[in-house]
Structure 1
Amino acid sequence: MPQRHTVPAVRVAVVATTAAAAAVLSVLPAAIAAPAPGAPAPAAPVTRDVAPAANVLPAASPAAAHPAAQNAAAAAGAASAAGQAAATRTSAMSTAMAQVGKPYSWGASGPSSFDCSGLISYAFEKAGKDVPRTSRAQASAGTEVSKSELRPGDLVFFYKPVSHVGIYVGGDRIVHASTSGEPVKVSDMASMPFNSARRV
């Protein structure tokens, strides 16, 4: 016949089991934390210095990163300046052409009458550019161009020393205030001895 435990005996067994479990749990964290005898100590955490991305890869300036773009911008700027200068010369030529038929008067600079250099200074002033008043001073303005490179709006000088000037209009012709008794007109360049030409 099976043996039966009395209630006090069961209670004693439960208490003993609970006490044993508590003792095991109290030493368990220390056992986990402590290395086993003879085992190597755990390695210390490894840290590394990492430089910020900005220091590793410095940002390049636009000029350094895109030299072709910089060169293109410079070329565009130069082309724009050249285009504006050409527009100024064309405007001056148009203003001079608008004076055709007005009388010549020595020392006059318009708007009712002109001498040769007076017509030049008047036309360029209306185009927004100052040039010297006399033909000899005008012959040193701007840059020299050859007869074969003339463009509309260039200044053409005659005689030696320079004593006459007109504005090139194309087709080997100039608009000018020629001389006393002659109105402002368009003439062939071949009618006078060519001296030089300037582009202002």
Structure 2
Amino acid sequence: MDDAALEDVLLQTLDLLAWRLRRLEFVLDGRVIEVEGTEDRKTPSVPVVPRLQRLESTLQQLASRSEVVSDLLKLQSQHPNIFTEDEPKDASSEPDTTQQLAMVLTDAPRFSTITSQLRSLSDFSVPPTSAFASVIALQPRLAQLEEQQYRQAMEISELRKRTGALVLQWHELFILGQGQCWAEWDTRLRNAERSVRREEVRRMEDGV
């Protein structure tokens, strides 16, 4: 590549960078900047280095006005590998033909085992259809039995509730009620005993 072609490629690259800066400025705040040096695209006398310096200066000005651009530049300086494409994997890292053949031979017994299992499935005889027909014929009866079982379960639940209520009532009447009755009788007996003793003491004091 001669010098003229190389210079033309450099100028095209600089124009593309300037266009991207204008587009970035428009995306960020809706304004379009005029990057210095782009009007000199067809002027060979303008050196490439000053134009590149102007582009860098414009980018720095844009970064000073936009936190997003500033953060991206900091991220690029700290982690330069983020914005570069990954290198293609080396073909030598993949296993060669010998290694692939060894892996196939290692799993070969598993293939034969699976094949024998599949063949054994074909040896199973399918049950006669009469058995399925009899099961289908029993379906209405099974539905009736299920409904009857549900009704019985509901009756049993109701009986349990009634039994619980009766047990609670019996406990309140015969256990708690009898206890209260005995307590009341004991209280009356104690009161009567106290009255008799007071009467005896009073008579002894009166000399009767």
Query: Is the shorter-chain TM-score for this pair beyond 0.5, marking a shared fold?
Result: no
Give TM-score, length-normalised by structure 2: 0.26
Please identify which structure carries the higher helix content.
2
Please identify which structure carries the higher strand content.
1
By relative contact order (CA 8 Å, sep 6+), the higher-ranking structure is: 1
Give TM-score, length-normalised by structure 1: 0.26
